[in-house]
Structure 1
Amino acid sequence: MRSELTIYLLEDNSDDVYLFKQLLENDKAINYSTLETDSLAGLNKLISAIVPDILVIDLNISESVGLETLIEVRKFSLDIPIIVLTGNDDEIGIQAIQLGAQDYLIKSEINASTLKRAIQFARERLILYSALGQLATRDKLTMLHNRAAFDEKLEAIESDFLRYEINYSILLLDINNFKPINDTYGHLVGDKILQHLAHRLQMFNRANDFVGRFGGDEFILIVPKVDNDEKLQSLILNKKKVLNGQYAVQSISGQILNIPISVAIGGAIRGVNAFSPKELISIADLNMYKDKEINAQLENNNKFTD
């Protein structure tokens, strides 16, 4: 049974459309289903209806010429691999790859073999680049988003706030008394606790919330549509309920340890008690340390009572 591949072709020359389809006919392994359009609007409409496996675009069409065609297509092409068709110009093809295309073909050199190989490689290259991009924005220990991913997300959500006035909050959280755990049980146990806490953060989290490791034992969350202190405090309380408790980890010797963990959390709301992203982080950090001080006082009071 042949596999299926859907291709959208942006081409305004009917002879080239015919040749393209002929080159992909009667393949024994893959059934290529090709839909063509001669305009950017037509391509956008096709993608909006059904997302294809690959896009093949002629850079020179009646309404757009050269790399501008690729730039316009990329505005609505999501994460679809793109092959560009050029005239006798390798330099334009290389520039197209630098601007986000996965491969290019010179029209005068296209045959069935080169076309099918380009389609295969373009799809594989996009998957590889996506995987590498994920690694570049993930913390290696916890696999949460890292600081670079946080900066990118904060810029995007701040843009939405400025444009649409959609409030958002930032939560900073830190593990109480984490250094003594590392000193007592070793960094292997400490790393496992960080991984377990990261897992809980991912499990008990809304789909639109951003969760990242800020560094050391600090974690950061960006939570959209939190617009008052009551919602913020309720959110913090719920996070503590799922994060505080006994963490079972195995020591180097194989012993199962049940280590009590609690977190300090501070938050701030954009547009309510902070008026810039920098101030937002600063206030959330200050509130986190206030919470840490309260926790330390409670621990001391409990020791005195005991």
Structure 2
Amino acid sequence: MTIVQSDLKTNAQNKNVLNVLYIEDDHDDLYLIECALNDDQLKHYSLFHAVNFFQAQHALREYHFDVVLLDLSVGRLSGLKTLQQAINILDLNKKSIPIIILTGSEDESMGEKAIQYGAADYLPKKHASTFNLSRSIRFTIERHCLMEKILNQAKIDELTGLLNRRETLQRCQQVIEHSRRFETPIAMAMIDLDGFKPINDEFGHAVGDDVLKAIGHRLSENTRTTDIIGRLGGDEFLIVLTHFESNESLLGVLSKLKSAIETPLEIQLELESKVFDMRCSMGIALFENTLTLKKTLARADQAMYVSKKEKNSEIVFYTEDMEQSTIYRSNP
């Protein structure tokens, strides 16, 4: 059953309906695919037809899609250049959607190249019966969802739910490249929990894990969607901020975050609950265009070390001479 385009937004959360973007400039072929989908007794479809990539890009901005059907000849583009253009507009709109190639050609070597190039499946239109098309769409979406789940698991710290060290550093590098191009400010805040080792030693690693989970939740709840939040290891975390106007506004954001971390934390023990007084040390380094990621992180780590040594709940901004670091009180 094909559903009208106006229902695409409504159907975004409806698992019984698959939203399909079909990029095709031949209306006869469009009719054949519509008929094949209409006859499917297993699934319902909401089909959006784009006659060119301009229309496709507009649709991607407006709607959620589960799969893209792509003809290999659209406008002046043909073959793998068409596939590349489709991949480009998906990347541009930050969409991870599988692409199924539908083509009048039965060239198996082209099909193999398309798969190697990034397509999820390849189906000659001659064989695009209801059964074959439905099967290709359903299996493609299932494989894609599974791969997305595996990839996401590889990026996440299992204990806290934050980004793991590897993914955090990769995103930091991306932010740095963006900053070099557009001259946007970056601040890296290294955070280390004070007194965490005694908690582990006295109450055991299970309680320590519960503390880390709770801190991870507090970090997620008290940062912005534009911030990068990751666990580097142990009780050490990194926050990367890119949207701030001054050191003072940055300090305001981080002071609120520090206060959230340091709110007394109640953890359920085996027979009773225990309230822990949380403290953390925080060091900040501002990225400079001549610095590498490694050097910027080292500066943040130096500032954090000064904060820990001071033992007076201070947020420390890195300066070239850490003996004379500019220290800002987190609770003025």
Q: Which TM bucket (shorter chain)?
A: 0.7 to 0.9
Q: Given that residues 40 and 130 in structure 2 are in contact (C-alpha distance below 8 angstroms), is that contact kept between their aligned partners in structure 1?
A: no
Amino acid at match of 1:278: K
Find the partner of 2:60 among 20, 30, 47: 47
**Is 2:246 aligned against 1:228?**
yes
User: 2 CA distance for matches of 1:145 and 1:110?
Assistant: 41
- Shift of the 218–116 alpha-carbon distance from structure 1 to 2, 3 Å rule, reads same
User: 2 CA distance for matches of 1:113 and 1:129?
Assistant: 24
Amino acid at match of 1:262: R
* Aligned partner of residue 291 in structure 2, secondary structure: coil
Which residue is equivalent to 2:119?
A: 101
Aligned residues: 296
Which residue is equivalent to 1:292?
A: 308
User: 2 CA distance for matches of 1:211 and 1:39?
Assistant: 39
Question: With structure 2 as the length reference, what TM-score do the two structures score?
Answer: 0.80
Which residue is equivalent to 1:157?
A: 175
What percent identity do the matched residue pairs reach?
Answer: 30
User: 2 CA distance for matches of 1:191 and 1:31?
Assistant: 45
Deviations 1:148-185 (A, max 9, x none): 22122112211221122110211110011222221111
Which residue is equivalent to 2:26?
A: 13
Which residue is equivalent to 1:120?
A: 138
Deviations 1:51-109 (A, max 9, x none): 43321001234422222222211222222332112432444434434443332213332
Tell me which moved more, 17-26 or 114-123: 17-26
Deviations 1:4-59 (A, max 9, x none): 44422222334322322222224445443434344323322333343433210012
Q: 5+ unaligned residues in a row in structure 2: which ranges?
A: 4-15, 315-332
Amino acid at match of 1:18: Y
Q: Given that residues 232 and 267 in structure 1 are in contact (C-alpha distance below 8 angstroms), is that contact kept between their aligned partners in structure 2?
A: no
User: 1 CA distance for matches of 2:19 and 2:254?
Assistant: 47
Question: With structure 1 as the length reference, what TM-score do the two structures score?
Answer: 0.86
Correspondence 1:232-271 to 2 at 5 A: 232-251=250-269, 253-271=270-288
User: 1 CA distance for matches of 2:146 and 2:293?
Assistant: 33
User: 2 CA distance for matches of 1:280 and 1:231?
Assistant: 20
Give the superposed CA RMSD. 2.6
Deviations 1:96-147 (A, max 9, x none): 3444333221333221101011111222222222222211100011110011
Which residue is equivalent to 1:302?
A: none
User: 2 CA distance for matches of 1:211 and 1:276?
Assistant: 19
Tell me which moved more, 128-137 or 89-98: 89-98
**Is 2:196 aligned against 1:168?**
no
- Shift of the 181–161 alpha-carbon distance from structure 1 to 2, 3 Å rule, reads same
